[in-house]
C-alpha cells in the first residue's frame, strides 16, 4: 500500500511567461495559474488535459527547469528554495521527455547517454563500476548489453524511450516527471512502455507525476488523476472515481471522448462535443476558465473564479454549478 506521507507538495504554483505583444509591450501568458496538489510516496498522479493547458509547464516548473513565478514546491517535507536545494532535489527528481527523437543526441552511444548523469554527479569510483551501473540500468528497461555501444539513431522510438527512461533512472531518483512519455510512440508499443513504468515503480519504489492528454493512457497507471484546463486544475480524485463519476463538465467531455471497447455501450455513450476552441492562455476568460465552452455557465461563472473545493472524500472540483449539474 502507498505510504500516505506526501513526497511532493505543490502549493499555489504559478508560471507566467512574458510574451511580446507589440511595441515594447509584453503580456503575461499564464501557463500555470495557481495549481496545488500533493503526491504520496510510491503513488502515481496522472495529470491530464488538452495541448496548451499548461500540464508540461507544471512538470518542468516542479523540477525548476523553469523558475516558478509564484508558489511553493516541497520535497519530503522540505521547501525547495535556493540553488543548493534545487541541485540536491535534481539528484532525487528526474524527467522522461515526450519525444525520444529530439531528447537524445543521435551521435552519442547508448552507453554515453545513460552514463552522462553518472558522470555529471560523479556517481562511480572506477570505469568498471560505471560500466556495471550502465548495464544494470539497461537491464532494468529491457535493453541488452550488446546495445551499449550502438548509437541512439539506430533505435526505434520505443527503444529510444527505454534509453531515455534508463537515463532518468541513473541518479537513483525517488520522483520522476513522465511528460507524455508514450504519446510519440506507436499505439502497439504504448502499453509495453506503460507496463514497464509500472514494473519499475514496484521494483524501485518510484513516485510519478504522469502527464498525458489521453485519459486512457493514465487510467491504467494512475492512483489519482488531476484534470487541467487553461492553467488550472479543475478536478482531482482517485482514478476510478474520475472514470465512474466525473463531476466537472470539462472532465465529463474529456471522458465521453474516450473510446469504449464494447460496441453496445458505445452507441449509448453520448459523446459530449465541446463547442468552440480552447481560448489562448494569453487571453484567458475572466472567472472560470472553462465558461466559454460550458453549457451550464452563468453570469456568476464570468464574475468569479470557482473555488477548488472538496465535494466528497478526496474528490476536489472547481465549479460553481457542481451540485446542480450532478444532482
Domain boundaries, the chain: 6-102+175-182+206-325
**Residue 248, burial from CB neighbour count under 10 angstroms (0-12, 13-18, 19+):** buried
3-state secondary structure of 229: strand
The answer to whether the beta carbons of residues 150 and 87 sit under 8 Å apart is no
**For 129-173, what is each residue's pLDDT tens digit?**
999 999 999 999 999 999 999 998 899 889 999 999 999 999 999
10-residue stretch averages of pLDDT, the chain, 327 residues long: 80 96 90 97 96 94 97 97 94 89 85 94 93 96 94 90 95 96 89 94 97 88 96 96 95 81 56 78 93 94 96 96 93
pTM value surpassing 0.75 = yes
Closest listed residue to residue 95, CA positions, set 9, 38, 173: 173
**For 197-229, what is each residue's pLDDT tens digit?**
999 999 999 999 999 988 888 988 999 999 999
The fold of 6-102+175-182+206-325 is Rossmann fold (3.40.50)
In terms of residues, how long is the chain?
327
Sign of the CA dihedral running 99, 104, 105, 106: negative
- Please give the order of strands across the beta sheet that includes 6-20: 26-40, 6-20, 70-75, 78-79
Run of H or E residues at 55: helix 55-62
Amino acid at each position: 500500500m502507498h505510504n500516505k506521507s506526501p513526497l511532493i507538495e505543490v502549493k499555489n504554483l504559478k508560471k507566467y511567461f512574458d510574451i511580446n505583444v507589440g511595441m515594447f509591450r509584453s503580456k503575461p501568458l499564464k501557463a500555470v495559474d495557481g495549481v496545488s496538489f500533493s503526491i504520496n510516496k510510491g503513488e502515481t498522479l496522472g495529470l491530464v488535459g488538452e495541448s496548451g493547458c499548461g500540464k508540461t509547464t507544471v512538470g518542468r516548473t516542479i523540477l525548476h527547469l523553469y523558475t516558478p513565478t509564484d508558489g511553493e514546491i516541497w520535497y519530503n517535507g522540505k521547501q525547495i528554495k535556493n540553488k543548493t536545494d534545487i541541485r540536491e532535489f535534481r539528484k532525487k527528481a528526474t524527467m522522461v521527455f515526450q519525444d525520444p527523437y529530439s531528447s537524445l543526441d543521435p551521435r552519442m552511444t547508448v552507453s554515453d547517454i545513460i552514463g552522462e548523469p553518472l558522470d555529471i554527479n560523479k556517481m562511480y569510483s572506477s570505469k568498471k563500476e560505471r560500466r556495471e551501473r550502465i548495464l544494470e540500468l539497461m537491464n532494468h528497461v529491457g535493453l541488452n548489453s550488446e546495445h551499449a555501444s550502438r548509437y541512439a539513431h539506430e533505435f526505434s522510438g520505443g527503444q529510444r524511450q527505454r534509453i531515455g527512461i534508463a537515463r532518468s533512472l541513473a541518479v537513483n531518483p525517488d520522483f520522476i516527471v513522465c511528460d507524455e512519455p508514450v504519446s510519440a510512440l506507436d499505439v502497439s508499443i504504448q502499453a509495453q512502455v506503460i507496463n514497464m513504468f509500472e514494473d519499475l515503480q514496484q521494483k524501485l519504489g518510484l513516485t510519478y507525476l504522469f502527464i498525458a492528454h489521453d485519459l486512457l493512457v493514465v487510467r491504467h497507471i494512475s492512483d489519482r488523476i488531476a484534470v487541467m484546463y487553461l492553467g488550472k486544475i479543475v478536478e482531482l480524485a482517485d482514478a476510478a472515481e474520475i472514470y465512474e463519476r466525473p463531476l466537472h463538465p470539462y472532465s465529463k467531455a474529456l471522458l465521453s471522448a474516450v473510446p469504449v471497447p464494447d460496441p453496445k455501450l458505445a452507441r449509448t455513450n453520448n459523446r459530449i462535443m465541446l463547442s468552440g476552441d480552447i481560448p489562448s492562455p494569453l487571453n484567458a476568460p475572466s472567472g472560470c476558465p472553462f465558461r466559454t465552452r460550458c453549457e451550464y455557465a452563468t453570469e456568476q461563472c464570468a464574475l468569479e473564479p470557482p473555488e477548488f473545493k472538496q465535494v466528497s472524500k478526496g474528490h476536489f472540483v472547481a465549479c460553481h454549478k457542481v451540485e446542480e449539474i450532478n444532482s
